[in-house]
């Protein structure tokens, strides 16, 4: 069953728009030049299929250090391992492209993380967005800060 349903979802033939209804992003460290685990939580109202070359792209993760490449390791914190063990990271553009290796159904909560290296100086929080292509095209949507994955180092005091 899909979480976050409202009383209106029980009405006959009420169909939700193709969207991310969970789209949260958090970090483990707010210190310069530190390895920073970025944790992403997402769920969609629509299926994404591998047969349609479906992928999800995060953007706005700018000003990190280190190389770009096709093999940024992904760690799964939920049971769904739909992107495989790695994603395509473009450090300069601040994008992470995740291509599905197994289908993702509507209502499935997916939580995963990856590690980036923080910049050497202070900066404001990034405006991270998420989009999907393939089975369903979902235009870029802003993500919310994920306080549930905050550590003692990033939690508000």
Given strand 110-117, what is the order of strands in its sheet?
Answer: 75-76, 110-117, 35-44, 20-27, 144-145
User: Could you count the other beta carbons within 10 Å of the beta carbon of residue 96?
Assistant: 24
- 3-class secondary-structure state, position 25: strand
β 144-145/20-27 pair status:
parallel
Torsions phi, psi of 34, nearest 5? -110, 150
What value does the CA radius of gyration of the chain take, rounded to a whole number of Å? 16
Tens digits of per-residue pLDDT, 31-43? 999 999 999 999 9
pLDDT digits (tens, 9 = 90+) for 80-114: 899 999 999 999 999 999 999 999 999 899 999 99
pTM (two decimals): 0.87
pLDDT value, residue 135: 94
């Amino acid at each position: 069953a899909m979480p976050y349903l409202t009383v209106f979802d029980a009405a006959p033939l009420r169909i939700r728009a193709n969207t991310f209804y969970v789209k949260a992003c958090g970090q483990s460290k707010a210190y310069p030049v530190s390895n920073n685990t970025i944790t992403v939580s997402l769920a969609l109202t629509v299926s994404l299929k591998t047969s349609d070359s479906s992928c999800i792209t995060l953007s706005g993760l700018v000003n990190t250090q280190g190389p770009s490449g096709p093999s940024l390791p992904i760690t799964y914190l939920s049971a769904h391992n739909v992107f495989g063990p790695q994603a395509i990271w473009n450090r300069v553009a601040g994008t992470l492209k995740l291509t599905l290796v197994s289908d993702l159904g509507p209502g499935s909560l997916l939580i995963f993380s990856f590690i980036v290296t923080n910049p050497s100086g202070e900066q404001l929080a990034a405006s991270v967005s998420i989009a999907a292509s393939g089975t369903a095209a979902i235009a870029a949507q802003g993500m919310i800060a994920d306080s549930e994955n905050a550590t003692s180092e990033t939690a508000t005091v």
